[in-house]
Chains A and B, each alone.
Chain A
Amino acid sequence: MTTPTPSPTSQLTHLQRLESESIHIMREVVAEAEKPVMLYSVGKDSAVMLHLARKAFYPSPPPFPLLHVDTTWKFKAMYELRDRMARESGMELLVYQNPEAAARGINPFDHGGLHTDMWKTEGLKQALDKYGFDAAFGGARRDEEKSRAKERIFSFRSANHRWDPKNQRPELWNLYNARKAKGESIRVFPISNWTELDIWQYIHLENIPIVPLYFAAKRPVVQRDGLTIMVDDERFRLRPGEVPEMKSVRFRTLGCYPLTGAVESEATTLPQVIQEMLLTTTSERQGRAIDHDQAASMEKKKQEGYF
């Protein structure tokens, strides 16, 4: 975890500047918000966020808890890393599962879009309300998707958690307006200006622990609806004729395992993963089912409160 010291006139590298910007943003939130929280999804962006938070506040531990809005359908390897990182960082880990979704048995096999809506979008709102967090760090990046390219770093939410893309606060220089009325909250995106390549390279340089699913290994998978899905536990409902086969696959993005597509790969090291990523011809979010509905689907989801 060393950052090379530049000589007086040397240029900072783009990663040093991005790191400094993200740390600055996190400190602003801690200084101005009453009760911040960091959303922790266990993915590679969350891994970088947690790492940056530890740097920002060292030698203090990050002065906020981690919140995992759990759908109960994540990969087993994600739960393992989550618990390990919470232990190592000395931070409090809050796990929230929407009780209504649990009671109704909402699952990715029977409920399609409702699954994401109830467990993630509703679960997140409920968790923020329950604990009274007024600022929540998220790991969204502007290079991920078109509507995210326009979202502010400090993104204001109404008391109903809604985002109004036409009424965003102007954000100049590195001055962030964190003021809000009671009940309103702010989503903060400290890695807004990072790209997927920046994330991978930073993980590589800083040796940040990530879920092993990002590296290729023989895993049991089935082909379904154009996606390669991993059979991660016994809850997976095989359709007639489906037989899991062992293939060398890895994941470019991690979510609920029955909804997350794997790619066939032999990349077992970070440079190999980066190499594949750079030479690939499809964008990152293609592995997720929710973005394909229509061109503006992410913008709609965000207005409703999806991160």
Chain B
Amino acid sequence: MSVTTTQTSSYQTDALIAADIDAYLLQHQHKSLLRFITCGSVDDGKSTLIGRLLYDSKMIFEDQLAALEADSKRVGTQGQNIDFALLVDGLAAEREQGITIDVAYRFFATEKRKFIVADTPGHEQYTRNMVTGASTADLAVILIDARKGVLTQTRRHSYLAHLIGIRHIVLAVNKMDLIGYDQEKYNAIVADYTKFAASIGINAFTPLPISGFMGDNITSRSANTPWYGGPTLMEHLETVELDVTADQQKPFRMPVQWVNRPNLDFRGFSGLISSGTVRPGDPIRVLPSGKTSTIARIVTIGGDLEQAVAGQSVTLCFADEIDCSRGDVICIADAPAEVADQFETVIVWMADDSLIPGRPYWLKLGTQTVTATVQAPKYQVNINTMEHMAAKTLELNAIGVANLATDRPIPFEPYATSHTLGGFILIDKITNATVAAGMLHFALRRSQNVHWQALDVSRETHAVLKNQKPAVLWFTGLSGAGKSTIANLVEKKLVRMNRHTFLLDGDNVRHGLNKDLGFTDADRIENIRRVGEVAKLMTDAGLIVITAFISPFRAERQMVREMMAPGEFIEIHIDTPLADAEARDVKGLYKKARSGALKNFTGIDSPYEPPHTPEIRIDTAKLTPGQAADLIIERLIP
């Protein structure tokens, strides 16, 4: 063994273990956890560095050391010396090829902290592996070969580490022994890197002159670099601030994983708190619904908690029975997350099959899984030069910026604010493979910014198959005017003529699709918007849609008209004087409204805006319902 033995903290630890195990356990129990990633190619000595950290923190047992010595002689690249790289290159295929393909996780501890190291490959074709390893890291160690300085791969690793949001970057200038511990060469490398780092937005990093092979400045200050006054690598790892601590300062958020309902008397919402602090009595808001309540209890098997913080898995009970299920996000009431369905995103493509813009993929973000489509990328990033390149798709390991739309609004935060509510994966709906990882930048405010990909089976195809021209027959008029009666008759006549129809009626929609809506102006507008969207989908499917809603406001009828293809929206005003409708009062609603028992009733205390130029106007004073239906059919199918 030609490795230099240094006085490490592990020896002091050993003494404590032997002398007072309880004191040691107490100390170990209070250690915090740092996750970090090492970036660099095999040539940079990355695996050797990790092997050295494990060795110096005494995480290698005698039998492992014996196997390591045997392996070193058989396949090692260090002659008769111990090849530390063999400790960490796990898979057999990797040992044979002498490269690190996948992400391997290693564990060690010092007196102050426990560490999880993600050892990831450095080659460009393993970009996805590096991104995977980086996604859970608080810190990145970027390795540079002191003989070579800042290379393309250094820039790539730094860009990826920064992209994935790692706040702490360590620049480990390795193999200092091979340049004679030359301070000037070291300073030149650091200056070179500083310039590059600033250009991609890395404003702070910690440079270190080290030798993984010789052990310089790893766990103890090296006599070979008297000009270096900073911390050793281990000292830096032991003292750097943790991300989870920073997350506790942000507003409270918890994605709901699972509703805990052992019996009718208990309803709890289980999840991992992604940011902030929560206490009983805190007012909360559930997204996307926006419903509010207060925290009643924080339940654990060991008794209720007074408080829980980011990083803890808990079960919360509310003071009120409000709807809340898997995928929802519980937020502090006065500072909730945003909700949107269209975003600008950065996407890292991870599959052999390239991105197909417009194809529906599963998107998993937090605990929500929704359908999402990605538009053609705005640009792809050359990860070696950081240049933006035009791209129609994204291939394996490509990184691009693209707009993305989900099939329903989802609670989110920009990735820079929250990795939990801003990071997502895309899953192929056929193969179930994870094909991409992405980060939400921001929500696109205007929905017209996104154009949906044309589908292979077009609306024309659907219409041709049904041998008809799709249309929306939009009945509007006062309550009791006879809209539903006439609409029903029209539908029956159309069906007898072998037309494919569907009737959307105020009552059937409000019992299901829109049962969450009331009769305020805002809810009436939302009611009509939803009916319009449903009707639009049905015309896409080739149907003749018949709707019977009071739909009192011109603006909303106009909104629906604009959703449809030109000529497909046929407005039919069932025109009845208020006095007639009120005299008929089939459902007794006018009576209730007049007595004040029913608020916001159209014609009484809420206005009805008759259409100026409807396609068809039916004067109920002159026509019976049957005559009215005949007239409408005549006008439709001359």
Residues of A within 8 A of B (CB): 1-3, 5-6, 8-21, 23-24, 27-28, 30-31, 54-61, 142-143, 146-147, 149-150, 165-166, 168-175, 177, 179-181, 192-193, 195, 197-198, 201, 204-205, 271-272, 274-275, 278-283, 286, 295-296, 299
Output the least CB separation between A299 and chain B (Å).
6
Across the interface, A13 reaches (CB within 8 A) one of B30, B105, B299, B362, namely B30
Q: Which residue of A lies closest to B60 (CB)?
A: A283
Known: A14-B33, A147-B91, A149-B90. A142 touches B105 (CB 8 A): yes
Pair B303/A27 contact, Cβ less than 8 Å: no
Output the least CB separation between A34 and chain B (Å).
14
**Mask for B14-39, Cβ within 8 A of A = 1, else 0?**
10011001101100111111000000
Pair A170/B249 contact, Cβ less than 8 Å: no
Known: A1-B302, A150-B91, A201-B25. A11 touches B244 (CB 8 A): yes
Identify which of residues 102-136 in chain B touch chain A, using a CB-to-CB cut-off of 8 Å: 102-107, 109, 113-114, 116, 128-129, 131-132, 135-136
Pair B420/A14 contact, Cβ less than 8 Å: no
Cα A105 to Cα B525 in complex, Å, equals 75
Cα A166 to Cα B97 in complex, Å, equals 14
**Mask for B74-115, Cβ within 8 A of A = 1, else 0?**
000000000000001011110100000111111101000110
Of the listed stretches B311-319, B559-567, B619-627, name the one at the interface; the rest are far from the partner chain.
B311-319
Cα A247 to Cα B303 in complex, Å, equals 43
Cα A205 to Cα B22 in complex, Å, equals 12
Cβ of A174: which chain B residues have Cβ within 8 Å of it?
Answer: 136, 272, 420
Output the least CB separation between A148 and chain B (Å).
8
Known: A271-B22, A274-B25, A286-B63. A171 touches B132 (CB 8 A): yes
Q: Which residue of A lies closest to B257 (CB)?
A: A27
Q: How large is the interface on B (under 10, 10 to 19, 20 to 34, 35 or more residues)?
A: 35 or more
Q: Taking the complex as formed, is B12 at the interface, i.e. its CB lies under 8 A from any CB of chain A? A: no
Q: Which residue of A lies closest to B327 (CB)?
A: A31
Cβ of A12: which chain B residues have Cβ within 8 Å of it?
Answer: 32-33, 244, 309, 311-312
Q: Which residue of A lies closest to B35 (CB)?
A: A193
Output the least CB separation between A220 and chain B (Å).
27
Pair B102/A9 contact, Cβ less than 8 Å: no
Pair A177/B427 contact, Cβ less than 8 Å: yes
Output the least CB separation between B11 and chain A (Å).
12
Residues of B within 8 A of A (CB): 14, 17-18, 21-22, 24-25, 28-33, 61-64, 67, 71, 88, 90-93, 95, 101-107, 109, 113-114, 116, 128-129, 131-132, 135-136, 242, 244-245, 248-249, 257-258, 260-262, 266, 268, 270-272, 277, 299-303, 305-309, 311-313, 315, 326, 350, 362, 364-365, 367, 419-420, 423-425, 427, 432-434, 437
Pair B257/A170 contact, Cβ less than 8 Å: no
Pair A13/B91 contact, Cβ less than 8 Å: no
Pair B301/A1 contact, Cβ less than 8 Å: yes
Known: A55-B300, A174-B420, A201-B25. 9 other contacts (CB 8 A): A3-B300, A12-B32, A18-B33, A150-B102, A170-B128, A170-B437, A205-B29, A282-B62, A283-B61
Cβ of B32: which chain A residues have Cβ within 8 Å of it?
Answer: 11-14
Output the least CB separation between B220 and chain A (Å).
22
Q: Which residue of A lies closest to B272 (CB)?
A: A24
Output the least CB separation between A114 and chain B (Å).
23
What are 19 pairs between A and B in contact, CB < 8 Å?
Answer: A8-B309, A9-B249, A13-B29, A13-B30, A14-B33, A28-B257, A54-B301, A149-B88, A149-B105, A166-B93, A170-B129, A173-B136, A175-B365, A175-B425, A179-B362, A179-B427, A179-B432, A204-B25, A278-B24
Pair A11/B434 contact, Cβ less than 8 Å: no
Cβ of B434: which chain A residues have Cβ within 8 Å of it?
Answer: 169-171, 177
Cβ of B437: which chain A residues have Cβ within 8 Å of it?
Answer: 170, 172
Q: Which residue of A lies closest to B19 (CB)?
A: A275
Cα A283 to Cα B107 in complex, Å, equals 14
Cβ of B107: which chain A residues have Cβ within 8 Å of it?
Answer: 142-143, 193, 195
Pair B62/A281 contact, Cβ less than 8 Å: yes
Q: Which residue of A lies closest to B62 (CB)?
A: A281
Cβ of A173: which chain B residues have Cβ within 8 Å of it?
Answer: 135-136, 419-420, 423
Cα A19 to Cα B313 in complex, Å, equals 8
Q: Which residue of A lies closest to B419 (CB)?
A: A173
Pair A17/B67 contact, Cβ less than 8 Å: no
Cα A166 to Cα B106 in complex, Å, equals 19
Cα A10 to Cα B311 in complex, Å, equals 12
Output the least CB separation between B419 and chain A (Å).
6
Cβ of A143: which chain B residues have Cβ within 8 Å of it?
Answer: 106-107
Known: A9-B245, A9-B249, A149-B90. A165 touches B102 (CB 8 A): yes
Pair A20/B272 contact, Cβ less than 8 Å: yes
Pair B423/A175 contact, Cβ less than 8 Å: yes
Cα A30 to Cα B106 in complex, Å, equals 28
Pair B18/A27 contact, Cβ less than 8 Å: no
Cβ of A18: which chain B residues have Cβ within 8 Å of it?
Answer: 33
Across the interface, A8 reaches (CB within 8 A) one of B257, B277, B299, B419, namely B277
Output the least CB separation between A132 and chain B (Å).
18
Cα A147 to Cα B62 in complex, Å, equals 19
Pair B14/A149 contact, Cβ less than 8 Å: no
Output the least CB separation between A163 and chain B (Å).
12
Q: Which residue of A lies closest to B298 (CB)?
A: A5
Cβ of B92: which chain A residues have Cβ within 8 Å of it?
Answer: 147, 295-296, 299
Cβ of A23: which chain B residues have Cβ within 8 Å of it?
Answer: 272, 313
Output the least CB separation between A87 and chain B (Å).
18
Pair B326/A58 contact, Cβ less than 8 Å: no
Output the least CB separation between A227 and chain B (Å).
14
Cβ of A282: which chain B residues have Cβ within 8 Å of it?
Answer: 61-63
Cβ of A295: which chain B residues have Cβ within 8 Å of it?
Answer: 67, 71, 92, 95
Pair B272/A149 contact, Cβ less than 8 Å: no
Cα A179 to Cα B265 in complex, Å, equals 33
Output the least CB separation between B65 and chain A (Å).
9
Pair A172/B300 contact, Cβ less than 8 Å: no
Interface core residue of A12, A280, A296 (most chain B CB under 10 Å):
A12
